[in-house]
Structure 1
């Protein structure tokens, strides 16, 4: 499935809709769109955190692979949209992304590709108070995160 803008918008705002296919988030991460920023920052969007995870995945994977997964211009465009969107969660993503782009050695797979930044306690590491683990750039480990499912609960 290659979602069009309208179909993706309908799915994003449907509180009971599940992913239309396995690894839908990974598919969406391969086709970055500014609408993900809109969805991630909209408190009325039931899948806001889902899209925020995708934004972290896109940037994390791009930096981790030295922009071979997504070009720098695409990332810059998403960050510009994030600055304009202005919600706290999206602005945190922008700030973290800009820092990672300046300091790629700080990449942490669990935080960027495993959804670790998108939790109720967003400033906490993914696994409580454990030290952050960093992985070297160019690692052969793919930047995929564990699958999550959506229910009617936000």
Structure 2
């Protein structure tokens, strides 16, 4: 395996450069449930750009990671994080190109407005929205 991550044994704190390198590589997922490691509010714009890039062969992985991330934030109920997320979704809505990404934004906004509709099958690992 080609070493992409600065810490090959624990790829749980990847940089954006490492995430991008993996996105275009032929390497297997570095860790089980790695969707959790790539997610942060700061990474969302980059992840969205990867999903919109037809040359990226990991779009389903990244889309799934976004659903998990949104579900986790909404379930947390942390008003400040949810507010930052709402602003970010508004920004991403103007930039999104792919139908899948546009659907994710719409569904995410709905979940924020209706947190009681959260369902792990759709907002957890292996999201039915994606797979």
Task: Tell me the C-alpha RMSD between the 2 structures.
Answer: 1.9
Whose helix fraction is larger, Structure 1's or Structure 2's?
2
Task: Give me the TM-score of the superposition, normalised by structure 1.
Answer: 0.67
The count of residues paired between Structure 1 and Structure 2 equals 116
Return closer, same or farther for 1:77/1:46 CA change in 2, 3 Å cut-off.
Answer: farther
Instruction: State whether structure 2 residue 66 is matched by structure 1 residue 55.
Output: yes
Instruction: State whether structure 2 residue 118 is matched by structure 1 residue 97.
Output: no
- Larger RCO: 1 or 2 (CA < 8 Å, sep 6+): 1
| Aligned counterpart, 1:118 | 130
Please list the CA deviations of residues 78-98 of structure 1 after superposition, one character each: whole Å capped at 9, or x if unmatched.
Answer: 413431122110000000011
Q: Distance in 2 between matches of 1:86 and 1:103?
A: 25
Q: Distance in 2 between matches of 1:103 and 1:73?
A: 14
In structure 1, runs of 5+ residues without a counterpart are: 120-154
Which runs of at least 4 in structure 1 moved beyond 6 Å after TM superposition? none
- Answer yes or no: is the 8 Å Cα contact 1:12–1:46 preserved in 2: yes
Matches within 5 A, 1:29-48: 29=39, 31-32=40-41, 33=43, 34-48=45-59
Instruction: State whether structure 2 residue 87 is matched by structure 1 residue 67.
Output: no
Instruction: State whether structure 2 residue 110 is matched by structure 1 residue 106.
Output: no
In structure 2, runs of 5+ residues without a counterpart are: 1-10
